[in-house]
């Protein structure tokens, strides 16, 4: 069993964009998108994934992710996933010993930039980078699975 605990924040400025930072293109869609669980298909660069996630409770949830052939992922995105798909560039930034994942959205969520930090415990202490804005961990409107239903362009 895999449990994911992450906190999510709006990004308030571009100070995270360090020289030479490179992102990876992600395209993802949802086969199932319900309160109790989601089934997501993703292409990250040239790798396909299928992921099953449970209900989020206090920033944690069950998560099972598996690599699949990219051709299968492409077909699932085209034929099985609800539209529109989520499109974004994902960057990784290290700050004070923690890995931050920054997603810069395009498509219907163009302009939205979110940062996530995975923790072993929701209450674990960490220092906030100067580019972190409002926390949206507990706002389901910022779950990727909900951004296809109710986009939040900026």
Under 8 Å between Cβ of 104 and 114? no
pLDDT tier at 22 (50, 70, 90 boundaries)? Answer: very high
Question: Of 151, 152, 144, whose CA–CA distance to 26 is shortest?
Answer: 144
**% of the chain surpassing 70 pLDDT:** 99
pLDDT surpasses 90 at 57 = no
Domain spans in the chain, listed from the N-terminal domain onward: 3-147
Which residues are known catalytic residues?
Answer: 30
In whole angstroms, give the CA distance from residue 43 to residue 46.
7
Tens of pLDDT, residues 125-146? 999 999 999 999 999 999 999 9
| Residue 1: per-residue pLDDT | 52
* pLDDT for 10 beyond 70: yes
Lowest mean pLDDT among 1-5, 38-42, 64-68, 84-88: 1-5
Give the contacts of 127 (CB within 8 A, at least 6 positions apart). Answer: 95, 96
Nearest to 74 by CA among 65, 89, 66, 85: 85
pTM over 0.95: no
The top-level CATH class assigned to 3-147 is mainly beta
What is the per-residue pLDDT across 66-123, written as a single tens digit (0 to 9) for each? 999 999 999 999 999 999 999 999 999 999 999 999 999 999 999 999 999 999 888 8
CB of 22 closer than 8 Å to CB of 132: no
pLDDT tier at 154, thresholds 50, 70, 90: confident
Q: Residue 150's Cα: distance from chain center in Å?
A: 15
Go through the chain and tell me how many residues it has: 154
């Amino acid at each position: 069993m895999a449990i994911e605990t992450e906190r999510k924040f709006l990004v308030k400025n571009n100070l995270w964009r360090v020289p030479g930072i490179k992102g990876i293109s992600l395209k993802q869609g949802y086969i199932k998108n319900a309160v109790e669980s989601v089934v997501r298909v993703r292409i990250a660069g040239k790798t396909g994934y299928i992921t099953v996630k449970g209900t989020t409770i206090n920033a944690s949830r069950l998560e099972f992710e598996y690599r699949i052939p990219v051709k299968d992922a492409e077909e699932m995105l085209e034929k099985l996933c609800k539209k529109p798909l989520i499109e974004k560039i994902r960057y990784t930034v290290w700050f004070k010993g923690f890995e931050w994942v920054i997603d810069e959205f395009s498509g219907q969520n163009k302009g939205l930039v979110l940062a996530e930090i995975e923790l072993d415990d929701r209450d674990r202490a960490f220092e906030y980078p100067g580019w972190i804005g409002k926390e949206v961990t507990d706002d389901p409107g910022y779950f990727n699975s909900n951004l296809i239903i109710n986009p939040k362009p900026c």
